[in-house]
Structure 1
């Protein structure tokens, strides 16, 4: 089996790049969703949510960079055009959402979609002993599961 400089199988690493790029594209859509609800939120919970949405989009921006750098580390090229993002997107695009519960539900739905992609990557990276990707996905999953729980608590919904 041919391996790359990281000691990972070449063919499977190429597949990992594709999966990571799907995650990258979806994180970009999530990021834009967060920016939109941050800008457009209205109502009595404005101050609380405006700050929270800014925190979340700041975190998403860091994760976008981490995913892109992982793509490069594994030997690929990160997607970087809106056309590529939209052609690989698997989540709802939030447009003109200003109502608090709809905004928070968009976050829950978006994170649920990201978690599905991340778990697929985690399973595949585990199969090829790609510990760098495993570790990143595990960290993302743990953080996002907690955020989903907190957002559902805010919405007064059970998991």
Structure 2
């Protein structure tokens, strides 16, 4: 599975696991990934997950799907960044997804994973919207500060 799809699926599964019996196992497996990547941040990730679980449970009880989707998007982004910086952790995240998180995904969640590719070149800007989330990327500025224009 490519890193973006893996992060997207794992983020959705992590938030879905918060309301299941697999939560403690999912939490520990996720924190363990950070222990290998940035041990100094592992406890902060653990605290964030505990706080997020309270938010996810409240949103689920209120049937607030927008909040649940936003919480999942936040973790999808975190996991994507983790894999961007440490591509060698992809196999470990896949193992966590297959062994711990996958059981918390509904069939609907499994088919909801989407992929969108937007590319900004030179001075280009890209605005992507997916699932109500706006993502903005801007190409690199020229080193001399001059703007690039095409006649």
TM-score under structure 1 normalisation?
0.37
Larger Rg belongs to: 2
TM-score (norm 2): 0.39
Structure with higher helix content: 1
